[in-house]
């Protein structure tokens, strides 16, 4: 992660949008590699969304198992700066479906 992202995640000013976008896409790709599948959709608007975790494939409409959050929250979770349970309880992570919580067991990514 770049110094700009580290500073932002520690409470500093945000880096350029392109830096955030790249970090989100790379970390979501790492999650998809760690937990391949199609049963949970992880959304980090407006940057990216992936499907991961083995299980039934979702093909149309809103997936039954979704996880959504902002980029700062996602990158904090992916790097271990934030705790999944705390983020869910505070409302910064929104999830639905019985399999969505499995994403929390896969974090941090490092």
**Tens digits of per-residue pLDDT, 39-73?**
999 999 999 999 999 987 766 777 789 999 999 99
Cis peptide before 108 (omega within 30 of 0): yes
Q: Residue 57 corresponds to which tokens in the numbers above?
A: 């494939």
Work out the pLDDT band at 19, boundaries 50, 70, 90. very high
Q: Which domains does the chain have, with CATH numbers?
A: 3-105 (3.30.1050.40)
pLDDT of 88-102, one tens digit each?
999 999 999 999 999
Q: 56, 69 in Cβ contact below 8 A?
A: no
Rounded Cα distance, 71 and 97, in Å: 21
pTM, rounded to two decimals = 0.93
């Amino acid at each position: 992660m770049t110094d700009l992202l580290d500073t932002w995640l520690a409470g500093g000013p945000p880096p350029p949008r392109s830096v955030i976008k790249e970090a989100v896409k790379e970390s979501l790709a790492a999650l998809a590699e760690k937990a391949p599948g199609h049963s949970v959709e992880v959304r980090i608007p407006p940057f990216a969304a992936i499907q991961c975790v083995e299980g039934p494939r979702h093909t149309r409409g809103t997936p039954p198992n979704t996880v959504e959050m902002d980029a700062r929250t996602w990158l904090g979770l992916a790097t271990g700066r934030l705790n999944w349970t705390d983020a869910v309880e505070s409302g910064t992570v929104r999830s639905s479906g019985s399999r969505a919580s499995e994403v929390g067991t896969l974090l941090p990514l490092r």
